[in-house]
Amino acid sequence: MKKQRNWVSLFGTFLASVFLAAALLLGACAGCVVSGDEGADSESLVLMTWNVHNLFDGEDNGYEYDEFLQSSGWSREKYLGRINTISDAIGRVEPKPDIILFQEIESLGILEDLAQLLNGEYSWSHFAGNPGSAIGVGIISRYPLLDVKAHSITIDDDSSPRPVLEKRIQAQTEFIIFTCHWKSKIGGDEATEKTRRASARVILRRAGEIWEAEPELGIIIAGDLNLNHDEFYRQNASRICALMPDDPYCAQITGGIQKDYIVINRNKPPVPVHFPEDTIIFFSPWLRELENGTYYFRNNWETIDHFLLSTQFFTDSNLVYNKTTIINFPPFANSNGIPVPYNTRTGLGISDHLPLLLELKTVNKNLQTAGSSL
């Protein structure tokens, strides 16, 4: 079987305006044939998103954080030990993820190493990172990844340190995933919110373009958004956030005009209740079925890791939403379910984030798997 590895590298072309979004794709594609045995279970499709917390290889390229430089004691051996721990942890997850979305990885090579350690079942991979940035986002998949785009965002004098990675998944039915690691709050909530809203604006623009051509196509927004699902109220309703709940007060203060924020609610399907009927809205499992959080900061849980799903996954799609769960067992977490950060000195721990697992169910059981459809 001929396997394929694709590389996406973002070249940082920014357009001068209120915000800039440039999508550049460098793909090296050879014909890939995936056998039916390697396709996912025809009755379900499982996605996992995980911020693995500063996963660097053992080589210096000039952009690493200080603790991951060879001069600080970081090495190829420590890197191999860490990815073995990570791959072993992923191997314990049930149901087994078909598609894994990573945040805070350094390179495509790391994705390929992880895919190989996971029995070589993930034949498709992409990585995207801004030039000069230490870390980026990536994906490994048992299903073909098509039409990959990396969107870089800048607004005023601030840029998102990581791109938004857009890709079309060719599974039981085709759908789009936006893998995100939005700008953190370092520098202040108010000062950094405009950049997160610019990232949301890029996704909204792309969603509108996609649905104009293919209204039946489902969209999933996934990853570390550096925003809680209830961020607006955690900030004392003092500013519009890149995630806004579908409630009367938010609809009132925004005027229902959606430019640079994503509206979420708990409804299945996620149709607007308080916002205008043409609002682009997504379902958030945090509003319905998840508790605590995925990130434990200053003795408080935060819900900054997300799967957000469009209405197509609750209506006529061949893939319908089933459930989302938090992976909070060892080695991902301690006995209290709290994530165990990786320690560069001792080599213990794994990540300061817990993964999320999303399960979609196949409606049409007669559909072919990804492998047999190629």
- What's the CATH class of domain 19-229+281-362? alpha beta
DSSP per-residue codes, 160-173 = -SS-EEEEEEESSS
Q: Residue 158: its pLDDT value, please?
A: 81
Q: Are 153 and 164 in contact (CB under 8 A)?
A: yes
* Confidence band for 18, pLDDT divided at 50, 70 and 90: very low
Q: Residue 14: its pLDDT value, please?
A: 33
Tokens, residue 133: 């940035």
Tokens, residue 9: 């590298």
Over the stretch 150-183, which tens digit does the pLDDT of each residue have? 999 888 878 889 999 999 999 989 999 999 999 9
* pLDDT above 80 (res 205): yes
Write b or e for each residue in 346-369: b if 16 or more Cβ atoms lie within 10 A of its Cβ, otherwise e.
eeebbbbbbbbbbbbebeeeebeb
Q: Residue 235: its pLDDT value, please?
A: 95
Instruction: Find the range with the poorest average confidence among 2-11, 15-24, 309-318.
Output: 15-24
Q: Residue 172: its pLDDT value, please?
A: 87
Q: Are 22 and 76 in contact (CB under 8 A)?
A: no
* pLDDT above 50 (res 200): yes
Over the stretch 83-127, which tens digit does the pLDDT of each residue have? 999 999 999 999 999 999 999 999 999 999 999 999 888 999 999
* Confidence band for 28, pLDDT divided at 50, 70 and 90: very low
* pLDDT above 70 (res 32): no
Distance of alpha carbon 229 from alpha carbon 371, whole angstroms: 36
* pLDDT above 50 (res 10): no
Over the stretch 311-330, which tens digit does the pLDDT of each residue have? 999 997 799 999 999 999 99
* Confidence band for 364, pLDDT divided at 50, 70 and 90: low
* pLDDT above 80 (res 27): no
Q: How far is CA 174 from the centre of its chain?
A: 17
Q: Residue 39: its pLDDT value, please?
A: 42
* Confidence band for 15, pLDDT divided at 50, 70 and 90: very low
Eight-class DSSP state of 82: H
Distance of alpha carbon 273 from alpha carbon 229, whole angstroms: 17
Q: Residue 239: its pLDDT value, please?
A: 94
Q: Where along the chain do its domains lie?
A: 19-229+281-362
- Identify the CA nearest to 81 among candidates 352, 355, 348: 348
